[in-house]
Structure 1
Amino acid sequence: MRFILLLSFAGLAGCTQATGRYPSLLPRPIESTSLAEPERPVPVATPDAALDKRIAEIRGALDAGTKAFTAGAQDAEARIAVSRGLPQGSEAWLQAQVAMGQLAELRRPAVTALSDLDALATQRGVDGLPPYPALDAALADADRAASSQQARIDSLEAALGGTGR
């Protein structure tokens, strides 16, 4: 029995020898490498006088168009209020319809400004130029103006649709 016990200890002793053939459990160099995107400097747009002038022109047209739209919306709202309770086809109802048609036309400067500014921003991207803060701000303003004007038209159309029924 002692012999078997000694033989088994001798067999186990062979398993404990360091041979260097087995991999270490320590982290490998590749495991400590970060896979995060490297920090890249943000490109800064250089001032562009021609672009600033064009943006100012578009903003001027947008502002003038917004004032005209606001006046037209107030007129349409007043005409819709007068036509409330009257049947469709009445004179007041027809005047409200005409005012709504004019209002859709008065929205054109906002849509044009949005389209022009979007084209300028797209062209900068195509040319590989960095974003231009003044252009981005003007584009956001034009988008807000066009969206709020469409919402106002939708609201007035809903009010006009509810008259005379």
Structure 2
Amino acid sequence: MKRLLPLACLALTAAGCVEGGPGRYPSLLPREIEKRGDAEPETPIAIADPDPALDRALTGQAKMLDDTQAAFAPAADRAEAAAKGARGDAVGSERWIAAQTALAELDTYRATTSATVTDIEQVALNRAAEGKPPYPSVDALKTRGEALLDGQSARIAAIQAMLPGS
């Protein structure tokens, strides 16, 4: 009897393996999830529709940038001349105060340029928040405004460096 027990277990185990047949086991072919690619999907580039109202607003902002830059250039020349004139003077002298006043005028123009660039950036942010594609005119004007702002900041810093006590 003790000899039959291991043989019975072996027979039951072997019968369990044979019983299901070939249809019950999973296929070794690739599954659907394994057939997909991992590459980024192609997304079409959205093209912005023309917006006449936005174009008019951008024209106004471009004019503001042009007018501010046109006023900044001669004011910067005056401030530079005043700073050169105050070079040997002490801090608080008449010519030093005149140069500082001229620099304050330049800061006003720079602030106007900065506010205009900020308004342009806000237009771009609002379009993005609404899910609209980028508008090329907005991007171009923003880039131009940032370049003007950087140029104005550099010119003001150079003039300010000429003054004593800077």
Does TM-score exceed 0.5, indicating one fold? Answer: yes
1:96 and 2:99 aligned = yes
Paired position in structure 1 for 2:56 = 53
Deviation at 1:70, TM superposition (A): 1.3
Distance 2:89 2:111 in 1: 30
TM-score normalised by structure 2 residue count: 0.77
1:75 and 2:56 aligned = no
1:105 and 2:108 aligned = yes
Q: Which runs of 5+ in 2 are unaligned?
A: 1-21
Deviation at 1:94, TM superposition (A): 1.2
What letter matches 1:47 in structure 2? P
Deviation at 1:112, TM superposition (A): 1.7
Distance 1:162 1:155 in 2: 14
Stretches (4+) displaced over 6 A? 26-29
Aligned residue pairs, count: 144
Deviation at 1:152, TM superposition (A): 1.6
Instruction: Report the identity percentage.
Output: 37
Q: Is the 8 A contact 1:72 1:106 kept in 2?
A: no
Distance 1:127 1:121 in 2: 10
1:38 and 2:41 aligned = yes
Residue among 116, 128, 133 paired with 2:131: 128
Q: Is the 8 A contact 2:87 2:164 kept in 1?
A: no
Distance 2:91 2:73 in 1: 25
Residue among 125, 149, 153 paired with 1:150: 153
Q: Which runs of 5+ in 1 are unaligned?
A: 1-19
> Which stretch has the larger CA shift, 126-135 or 89-98?
89-98
Paired position in structure 1 for 2:68 = 65
Deviation at 1:33, TM superposition (A): 3.3
Distance 2:157 2:164 in 1: 10
Paired position in structure 2 for 1:9 = none
Distance 1:86 1:68 in 2: 28
Deviation at 1:110, TM superposition (A): 0.8
